[in-house]
Amino acid sequence: MWFVLGVVVMGVFSFFDYRKLYYLAFPLLLVAIISLVLVLIPGVGVTVGGARRWINLGPIGFQPSELAKFAIILYLSSWFLHKERQRFVPFLLLLSFIIGLIMIQPDLGTSVIIFLLFVSIYFFSGENLLHLMLFSPFAFGAALLLIFTSPYRLKRLTAYLNPEVDPGGIGYHIRQITISLASGGLLGRGLSSSRQKYQYLPEAHTDSIFAIIGEEIGFLGSLLLIFLYGFLLFLIFKVIINAKDRFGKLLAGSIWCLLAWQMIVNLAAMVSLVPLTGVPLPFISYGGSSLLILFSLMGIVISIARR
């Protein structure tokens, strides 16, 4: 259902003049912020696994943080369209406000992606990088503070550094991911032949889907999937280079960054290069909100390419 709806929305955006999105940037950001606040209200937001990240809309659930990614891409691309001075402080305030709302849910993985998206768009816009360098120590300190003030996040970090410290507890997830990938070998067990997805591997259909892919189609199949992601990013990069105006370049560049960061963070977590953060694998992890937003962004890229 979400796939079909996503393809339809992608088609609509591909024929819509992307330059008119400039006028929707601020209203959409307001809608995204309001939805991030609404999800925190008991009775409106739905709590799953100890986190309040969804709004129940009758038969479907909607994740406001996914809308926030879309809104941030539009708003910052519009904001940095014209060169202005003295913008770094408002930029930091907006970043802190949105990440603060998402951390209350709590959702560290999405907060990391939003932070990387903000920084990447700032870099793409050609603003003064000295500001980012001076800000880096404070961002690192804030990340450490968030980790050490939350027992659960601290345990996640401990499990990342040493999965054997609690193999039946906090280290269980990463151990099961390792077993899945190792069981796939070179060619995999075969499609639909995974054993780990039967109640062994947590989040097998969402954040940990790549481990099941590795188990079923093996190392070579996993490389093919990564190649396809790389090819998609290459095509979007060509759109960035050939875009006729600054707004198109900023939009396509921001979308490129979102896809690249989500792919890198998810895959890095699967092979223990970074701690598990709960970031979905683009287009593959289960989740209607994420799929719909990604297809919408692809429609915008197509619109830029067509012009």
Buried b / exposed e across 157-194, counting CB within 10 Å, b at 16+?
eebbeebeeeeeebbbbbbbbebbbebbeeebbeeeeb
For the ranges 66-75, 98-107, 163-172, the one whose mean pLDDT is highest: 66-75
Which tokens hold the place of 98?
């949105």
- pTM of the full predicted structure? 0.87
Q: Domain residue spans in the chain?
A: 2-306
pLDDT tens digits, one per residue of 76-88? 898 888 765 567 7
pLDDT at 182 exceeding the cut of 60: yes
Mean per-residue pLDDT for 237-258?
93
pLDDT tens digits, one per residue of 93-133? 888 888 888 888 777 788 889 988 888 888 888 777 777 77
Alpha helices, DSSP H, located in 162-200: 172-184
Q: What span, in angstroms and rounded, lies between the C-alpha atoms of 232 and 226?
A: 10
pLDDT at 282 exceeding the cut of 60: yes
For residues 142 and 267, the model is more confident at 267
| pLDDT value, residue 304 | 95
| pLDDT value, residue 273 | 85
Mean per-residue pLDDT for 250-267?
93
| pLDDT value, residue 86 | 61
Q: What span, in angstroms and rounded, lies between the C-alpha atoms of 71 and 73?
A: 5
In this prediction, residue 137 has a pLDDT band, given cuts at 50, 70 and 90, of: confident
Task: Please state, rounded to an integer, the average pLDDT across all residues of the chain.
Answer: 85
3-state secondary structure of 189: coil
pLDDT at 272 exceeding the cut of 80: yes
Mean per-residue pLDDT for 214-228?
93
Q: What span, in angstroms and rounded, lies between the C-alpha atoms of 27 and 102?
A: 19
